[in-house]
Amino acid sequence: MARYTIGLDYGTNSVRAILVNVANGKEVASATWTYPHGKEGILLSDDPNLARQHPADYLKGAETTIKRALGVAKRSNQTFKPDQVIGLGVDTTGSTPLPVDRKGQPLAFDSRFEKDLDAMAWLWKDHTSIDEAIEITDLARKMRPQYLAKCGGIYSSEWFFSKILHCLRTNPKVFSAAYTWVEAADWIPAVLTGTEAPEDLKICVCAAGHKAMFNAEWGGYPDEKFLTRLDPKLGDLHTRLKTRAQAIDKPVGGLCKTWASKTGLREGIPVAAGVFDAHAGAVGSGIQPGMLVKILGTSTCDMMIVPADQRLADIPGLCGIVKGSIVPGFVGLEAGQSAVGDIFNWYVDYICPGGKRTGSHTALTNQAEKLAPGASGLLALDWNNGNRTVLVDPRLSGLLIGQSLHTTPAEIYRALIEATAFGALTIINRLEQYHVKVDRIVTGGGIAEKNPMVMQIYADVTNRPMMLSRSSQTCALGAAVAAAVCAGEYPDIPAAQEAMTGLKSKVYDPNPAAVEVYGKLYKLYRQLHDAFGTTAWKGSCFNVMKDLLAIRAEARGGAT
């Protein structure tokens, strides 16, 4: 009788459950559910930087999608029984922390705070905490440089402590009412296993290591003295934070009775430690040394693993270097581009070149794929949403150069795609500069599957074969892989990956003629990159984008 695990994948707007055969990774059923709160699951306010989620959506979403997926499985296979499901894995967006009470209940569930946006889950893309991120970075630079060395040299406004400190500063009522703060990636598995009470809670190394400066080397989270220097109340919180974190190959517990009865699953089946969606996607793509897994969506997350016993320097500009964060026994490296699909969507949805009919992604792609590399004379920087890796600078913006009086919409579209590929190559070059070899790139997601031109441009620009994950739900699959290991089906993650993950047969190989042209264009890209993004050379234009943002803020009455 076949055995299955469930991968529960919490995205920005919806949650998905997939039911996977542990023998071969085949996805036999799935169900998706869009969060009902706010705008497509996101609670907004007048502040354009604010983005929150209601944790009730997480629970209702787990119940709904698991039940539906089981229903689908039953309908397609009359002999299927929920008892055949032997484990559950969870991945979520992050850093998405939420304040909880002494029992691990979200403050959002407390009637006193049910309308308070600060009592909700602070979604990964919430940018309210920019000032606090600068404050944390500045203090760490002076006091604990080792904290920054593992996260690219800059602590982000999207991350755990920036958000908590912002709440402390701007909404002390919520901060005081919170016993502690928990990442959604930790809280959901805890609820499913009835271990959400802070004393029982188990946390994952992925979230803590990549977003909260957690490292076993210095005993866990940043030390009390450091947090106290930021704010004494943050220092107090330190005693209520966990000191150990675990990887995805170990369960945080067994499915509790309540959730077994809610979902119809067997009580006690192991629930794996939570993991961030992109990291789960790396697992579901079969990540191994030498393979860069690129989750190509509105932004990208680029992941590599390096054997834990290999010497590895702190690589400047990377968002995280964390032992065990992706695959236990390996150091997980995370990099990323702040906007990729978002730039293409901006161009199509905001600029609407040529109008709706001729300006769709499909129409522009059809024209753009006929263009030879370099033939437009255009070059762009992919910084419309700042630069995450390797510059780690949100105060950068887009740039397009080379326009004539005959430049067409499709030429600009292609230049924007090329710009994101140049950005991808810049990350690869940084990794290789620090002896992390990148032989091939595996990607997945809508753009990769829908747009062969994008894949070919990436192959030609990076001069590396581009491959596609076999699964189109690598994140959920990665969670299911973790569940299979927790259930004892495989001795470790690599063994489970070997059996459960794979690639599509189509490979996009670099075209030598295009590689040569892009080599020349990349030199110019780097020149612009360094001129506008660094102070590396005298006479750089490093100030230009920042000054424009300052002028803009003033013109808009001080808003950034």
Residues lying near a second copy in the complex (CB under 8 A): 339, 342-343, 346, 350-359, 372-379, 384-385, 397-409, 412, 517, 520-521, 524, 527-528, 531-532, 537-541, 543-545, 547-549, 551-552, 554-556
User: DSSP labels for 203-270?
Assistant: EEHHHHHHHS--BGGGTBSSPHHHHHHH-HHHHHHHTTS-S-EE-TTSEEEEPPHHHHHHH-PPTT-E
Q: Identify the three-state secondary structure at position 116.
A: coil
Diameter over CA atoms, the chain: 72
- Measured from the CB atom, the residue of 364 and 392 that comes closer to a second copy is 364
Give the residue with the Cβ less far from a second copy, 492 or 516: 516
Least distance CB 503 / a second copy (angstroms): 32
Q: How deeply is 112 buried, as exposed, middle or buried, from its count of CB atoms within 10 A (0-12, 13-18, 19+)? A: exposed
The angle formed by the CA atoms of residues 162, 168 and 171, to the nearest 5 degrees, is 120
Q: Minimum Å distance from CB 554 to a second copy? A: 7
- Closest contact distance (angstroms) between CB of 519 and a second copy is 10
User: What are the DSSP calls for 3-32, one per residue?
Assistant: -EEEEEEE-SSEEEEEEEETTT--EEEEEE
Shortest gap between Cβ of 426 and a second copy (angstroms)? 17
Minimum gap (Å) between residue 472 Cβ and a second copy:
25
CB nearer to a second copy: give 201 or 379: 379
Helices 452-462 and 409-433, axial angle in degrees (round to 10): 40
- The secondary structure of 437-456, three-state, reads CCCEEEEECHHHHHCHHHHH
Tell me how far, at minimum, the Cβ of 404 lies from a second copy, in Å: 6
Q: In the bound complex, what is the minimum distance in angstroms from residue 482's beta carbon to a second copy?
A: 33
Give the bridge partners for 122, in sequence order.
Answer: 52
Distance from chain centroid for Cα 378: 30
Cβ-based neighbours of 507, under 8 Å, separated by 6 or more:
465, 466, 467
- Yes or no: say if 277 and 183 are a contact pair by the CB < 8 Å rule: no
Tell me the closest approach of the beta carbon of residue 515 to a second copy, in angstroms. Answer: 13
Choice between 78 and 535, CB closer to a second copy: 535
Specify the residue, 314 or 530, whose C-beta has the smaller distance to a second copy: 530
Cβ neighbours of residue 516 closer than 8 Å, sequence gap 6 or more: none
Task: Tell me the closest approach of the beta carbon of residue 523 to a second copy, in angstroms.
Answer: 8
Closest distance to a second copy from the beta carbon of 448 (Å): 21
Q: How far is the CB of 315 from a second copy (least distance, A)?
A: 26
Question: How far apart, in whole angstroms, are the C-alpha atoms of residue 30 and residue 480?
Answer: 12
Given the complex with a second copy, which of 243 and 403 has the nearer CB atom? 403
Is 33 or 522 the residue whose CB approaches a second copy more closely? Answer: 522
Closest to a second copy by CB, 23 or 524: 524
Q: Smallest gap, in angstroms, from Cβ of residue 336 to a second copy?
A: 16
Which residue, 2 or 401, has its beta carbon nearer to a second copy? 401
Residue 4 or 532: the one with the smaller Cβ distance to a second copy is 532
Residues 6+ away with beta carbon under 8 Å from 365: 413, 451, 453
Nearer Cβ to a second copy (65/385): 385
The residues, ordered by sequence, that sit 6+ positions from 27 with a Cβ below 8 Å of its Cβ are 18, 19, 20, 471, 473, 477
Residue 36 or 355: the one with the smaller Cβ distance to a second copy is 355
Nearer to a second copy by Cβ, of 252 and 528: the residue is 528
- The partner residues of 468 in beta bridges, in order of sequence, read 443
Q: For the residues of 37-97, what is the DSSP string, one character each? A: STBTTBB--SSTT--EE-HHHHHHHHHHHHHHHHHHHHHH-TT--GGGEEEEEEEE-SS-E
Give the residue carrying structure tokens 């470790």.
492
* Min dist. Cβ of residue 277 to a second copy (A): 21
For the chain, the C-alpha Rg in angstroms (whole number) is: 23
* Closest C-alpha to 99, from 10, 19, 173, 194: 173
Taking the C-alpha atoms of residue 213 and residue 378, their distance in angstroms, rounded to an integer, is 40
